[in-house]
Structure 1
Amino acid sequence: MNYFSYLFILVNFLIASTSALFMDLPALPNPERVCVRDFVQEEQLVVVNIKTDGRVGDGQRLELQIVDSIGNKHRHKQDVAGTYRVAFTSHHNAAFDVCFTNHVDKSYKGHNGKFSREIELEIESGAAARDWNAIQATEKLKPIELELRKVQEMTEEIATELQYLKRREERMRDTNESTNSRVKWFSILVIVSLVGLGGWQIQYLRHYFKVKHII
């Protein structure tokens, strides 16, 4: 096997490997919300794939809500069952939460208090979320060209994220330097005020004692 063959296998492994999350969410009368958090860059495509067992009307109601840390709601669905897919484009560099709440339907005749939903959650963003099969068919790319295109876009995303982290570090450094400067001048002002107050107290006491003929 040549170098390009090894590269092709490595890229396939890196891109094809997906991190799916599995959870078993019990249905309760007053359930707590269970959330999974991820970070996304500005103007980045995000695809959330959800697979659940059960069906609508089986005695439990799985509620889905996707909201970012800024407060934007990207999706809210009351009853999720089977396979469900959500796609949205982020508007800011922010974290977002994919939250599930599983409510039990007490009026369901087959209710035995032990209902639960198995959930498989997969979150893709950026280059990983694009429909590469459609791109390959539209641009008539060869398999190796397609993989190299994926690597190029993923590399650009990594470079963009590193630039964002660099700018964020610069802002934090400027904030720290500004805070240190303000603390320094505030400390000098406090010291000068204390010295001035001490001198004034000494002069006042000397004058008081002279008036009273103590000294």
Structure 2
Amino acid sequence: MNVITATLTLIVIAGVLSSTSQSLRFDIQSGHSRCIAEDIKSSSMTVGKYHIVNPNEGQPLPESHKLSVRVTSSYGNSYHYGDHVDSGQFAFTASEDGDYMACFWAVDHKPQITLTVDFDWRTGVQAKDWSNVAKKGTVDFMELELKKLFDTVDSIHQEMFYLRERESEMQQLNEATNSRMAWLSGLSLFICITVAGLQLWHLKTFFEKKKLI
């Protein structure tokens, strides 16, 4: 039992480190928008689903309770778009590194209304549907947990390479910036010395003309 408990604990900790999950509820007033960002690395799976909370349980959702949704990458590429909907979902494998933005906006109404939205966004290992994996493979509990652990370790491995690449890019940027700053400082010093020399020459010439020296 202790071994199983330790294994499950490791899986939970590793899962937190290697993947991200955002499950939240927020309000949008008609005529306004709300954007949520998620940092996703290339080749990572991501899934999301959203729906407007019915203000009157047991009754149809009011026709006014509609919104538009767009999911885009930091480069402006669109991965999902829903127009005048009350619910939806998306799933894709990221082809670019960086922040992905999910923006929700509601049509303006008079008088103004408030929409409550439930949004669940998962990336990495958490984006996989493990219940279907278990059904399709008819695997037992421990085998399923080992599959999760394998995917989690692989995700952490990829994340480490991603962080190393980002660190290398930052080092190159810092080196280039330092080099440019050194060149700019040298140029500024040269200009200052040149201006000071010209000022001295001008003052000397002026005093000689005035026969002061």
**Scaled by the length of structure 1, what TM-score is found?**
0.78
How far off is 1:71 after superposition? 0.3
How far off is 1:161 after superposition? 2.0
Within 5 A, what are the aligned runs for 1:98-109? Answer: 98-103=102-107
* Residue-by-residue CA offset, 1:1-51 (whole Å, 9 max, x unaligned): 23124534774798699642012334x3xx111122111111221110213
Aligned residue number for residue 57 of structure 2: none
How far off is 1:205 after superposition? 3.7
From 183, 189, 209, the counterpart of 2:187: 189
Question: Could you list the runs of 5+ residues in structure 1 that have no partner in the other structure?
Answer: 107-112
CA contact 2:69–2:104 (8 Å) conserved in 1: yes
Residue type of the partner of 1:49?
K
With over 3 angstroms needed to count, the CA separation of the structure-2 counterparts of 1:191 and 1:72, relative to structure 1, is same
With over 3 angstroms needed to count, the CA separation of the structure-2 counterparts of 1:116 and 1:197, relative to structure 1, is closer
CA contact 1:61–1:104 (8 Å) conserved in 2: no
Aligned residue number for residue 118 of structure 1: 116
Confirm whether residue 24 of structure 1 aligns to residue 27 of structure 2.
Answer: yes
Aligned residue number for residue 88 of structure 1: 92
Distance 1:157 1:141 in 2: 22
Distance 1:172 1:13 in 2: 28
From 65, 71, 77, the counterpart of 2:76: 71
How far off is 1:137 after superposition? 4.0
For residue 26 of structure 2, give the secondary structure of its aligned residue in structure 1: strand
How far off is 1:147 after superposition? 1.1
Larger mean CA deviation between 113-122 and 91-100 belongs to 113-122
Aligned residue number for residue 109 of structure 1: none
How far off is 1:199 after superposition? 2.7
For residue 166 of structure 2, give the secondary structure of its aligned residue in structure 1: helix
Give the % identical residues. 24
Question: Could you list the runs of 5+ residues in structure 2 that have no partner in the other structure?
Answer: 55-59
How far off is 1:158 after superposition? 2.3
**Scaled by the length of structure 2, what TM-score is found?**
0.79
Larger mean CA deviation between 186-195 and 38-47 belongs to 186-195
Residue type of the partner of 2:68?
E
Larger mean CA deviation between 160-169 and 39-48 belongs to 160-169
How far off is 1:173 after superposition? 2.3
With over 3 angstroms needed to count, the CA separation of the structure-2 counterparts of 1:195 and 1:25, relative to structure 1, is closer
CA contact 1:8–1:144 (8 Å) conserved in 2: no
Residue type of the partner of 1:144?
M
For residue 79 of structure 1, give the secondary structure of its aligned residue in structure 2: strand
Within 5 A, what are the aligned runs for 1:160-179? Answer: 160-179=158-177
CA contact 1:44–1:125 (8 Å) conserved in 2: yes
* Residue-by-residue CA offset, 1:70-94 (whole Å, 9 max, x unaligned): 101111111222x522112211012
Q: What is the aligned length?
A: 205
How far off is 1:123 after superposition? 0.7
CA contact 2:73–2:96 (8 Å) conserved in 1: no
Residue type of the partner of 2:144?
L
Aligned residue number for residue 39 of structure 2: 39
